Structure formats: C-alpha cells, structure tokens
Amino acid sequence: MIKKIFKTTSPTLTIACRELKSHFDSLSAYILLVLFLGFSGIFTWIYGSDVFFYGQASLQAFFSTAYVTLFLLIPALTMRTIADEMRGGTIEMLLTKPVTRWQIVGGKYLSVMLLIIIALALTLPYYVTVACLGNIDHGAVLCGYFGLLLMSSAYAGIGLFASSICGNPIVSFLISLAIGLLFHIGFGIVGHQFGGIGGQVAICFDMNSHFDSMARGVIDSKDIVYFASVTFAGLFAAEKTLESKTA
C-alpha cells in the first residue's frame, strides 16, 4: 500500500520540484515574491487601512491585501505551467514517460502551492511584529493563513485549467483572470442584485463570503468544501483538456 502510494506520488513530486526550480531559475519566483511582499507590506504597515488605522493587534489588514494580491499574482504563476509544455512539445516527452496526466497536473499544482507557501512563510515577521505590539488572537491568525492557502489553491486550480486551454501564456493569464474575477466579484454582484434562488446560488459561489469568515477566524466545513471543490474542478478540467488535446 505504502509502496503504491509512493509510486504514484513520486513522479508528482519530481515534476513539482523541477517546476519550482524553474520558477527560481527564471527569476519569476523572485519577482513574484518581491511584488507580493511589497504590496502586502505597504498596505499592511504604511498606507490605507493599515494595522495602525485599525488600532488593533490583528492581521486583518494583511489578510485583505494578500487576498487581492494573490488573486492577481497566481494567474501569472500558473499561466506558463501547461501552456509552455504544449507549445514547446515537451508534453509529448512527459506523456511518453510512465507518468499519468493527473500526475503532471498534480505536480504543477503542487509547485504553485509550494511557492505560495514560501511567500506566506516570508510574511511571518508581520505576525511576530503584531504579536509584539499587542495581544493577538493566535487562532484567528492561523485561521487567516489557512484561508489564504485555501483561496490560493482554488485560484491555482482555475489557473491550471486556463493554462491547459491554449498554448499562449498571455491568453491563459487573461482567461484565468476572467474566471477568477467571476469568483472574486462577479457572483457577489449577481447575488446581491438579484434575489431569489438564483441569487442565493450565486452567493454560494462568491469567494469573498467564504474567505471573510475564515479571515475573521471562523473555520466552517462548508467553506473548506467550497475551496476544495473549486480546486478539484479546476484540476479536473485541466486534466480533461489535456486529454482532449493529446488523444
């Protein structure tokens, strides 16, 4: 059993490691980290409704800026993942190795998530600083980070799907931004404009409502199910698109 699990995960890990390495080799990882830390740092500490504006020892300000920053940066991370393999023909190399399409999609997803975990880990000094400034709710912070991870995972799934649609990274970027925008504000607007069952359903798809409760420190199983299903739907669609392109 363990051997079997190891066998199926090892190509995924191999692919994830290579992807992560290529992100760092091509500078794209550094640029993204700088942008992420820069934006979230400015809006958490210096400008707008920052920590001092709230006057509370909480990371609310950081979570809301990180939420927007990641929304914009994740499509940039995922746009090349599958699109480049298709355009360069290297997908043929991968698929003629004993590797399944799921392992390829999984490996790419994992590499994006690892990079986001690195980015979030680098914001731990924010947490330490705020904890020194006052009495911080440790549970809420943990919960907020967890929420950011879940939300990133959902966008990573969407981004991978967008990347699998066509061989052009810029088009992939725009598609994933468009789908992301739908989840980010589209469903919310529709839901609040129209009442009734349709509106209710739209609200269910709205990412804000699911994220806000987590950022406040409430973990609800329905939020986790929501993020997990968006992620899975994205990865599933990516795998299917890959299958239709290579069959």
Partner 1 sequence: MDIIVKNLTKFYGQQKAVDNLSFEVKAGEILGFLGPNGAGKTTTMKAIAGFLTPTSGSINIGRYNVSDNPEMVKQMIGYLPEHNPLYTDMNVIDYLRYMAQLQRIRASKINDRILEMVNVCGFEGEKHKRISELSKGYRQRVGLAQALIHDPQVLILDEPTTGLDPNQIVEIRELIRKIGREKTIILSSHILAEVEATCDRILIINKGHIVADGTADQLRKASSGCECLRITVEDANRNDVVRALQSLDTVELVDTVADKADSFEVQSRPGESSRRAVFRACVENGWVLTELSPVETKLEDIFRELTKQ
Task: Yes or no: say if 227 and 154 are a contact pair by the CB < 8 Å rule.
Answer: yes
Q: Which of 25, 210, 20, 38 is nearest to 117 (CA)?
A: 20
Distance (Å, whole) CA 20 – CA 14: 10
- Give the distance between the most distant pair of CA atoms in the chain: 59
Distance (Å, whole) CA 13 – CA 128: 32
**Among 46, 97, 134, 229, contact with partner 1 (rule: CB under 8 A):** 97
**Among 72, 76, 99, 219, contact with partner 1 (rule: CB under 8 A):** 99
Interaction of residue 98 with partner 1, rule CB under 8 A: yes
* Nearest CB to partner 1, comparing residues 135 and 244: 244
Q: Tell me the closest approach of the beta carbon of residue 19 to partner 1, in angstroms.
A: 11
Q: Tell me the closest approach of the beta carbon of residue 8 to partner 1, in angstroms.
A: 10
- Cβ-defined contacts of 175-181 (< 8 Å, 24+): 176/74, 176/75, 176/78, 176/79, 177/72, 177/75, 180/71, 180/74, 180/75, 180/155
**Among 96, 135, 193, 221, contact with partner 1 (rule: CB under 8 A):** 96
Helices (H) and strands (E) in the chain, counts: 14, 0
**Among 11, 169, 180, 234, contact with partner 1 (rule: CB under 8 A):** 11
Per-residue contact flags (x/-) with partner 1 for residues 17 to 36, judged by CB under 8 A? -x---x--xx----------
Interacting stretch for partner 1, rule CB under 8 A, among 42-50, 84-92, 181-189, 218-226?
Answer: 84-92
Q: Tell me the closest approach of the beta carbon of residue 15 to partner 1, in angstroms.
A: 8
* Nearest CB to partner 1, comparing residues 45 and 102: 102
Interaction of residue 75 with partner 1, rule CB under 8 A: no
* Nearest CB to partner 1, comparing residues 96 and 193: 96
**Among 47, 92, 124, 138, contact with partner 1 (rule: CB under 8 A):** 92
Dihedral of CA atoms 113, 146, 206, 161 in degrees, nearest 10, equals 10
Distance (Å, whole) CA 83 – CA 165: 8
Residue numbers of the site for partner 1 (CB under 8 A)? 7, 10-11, 14-15, 18, 22, 25-26, 88-90, 92-100, 246-247
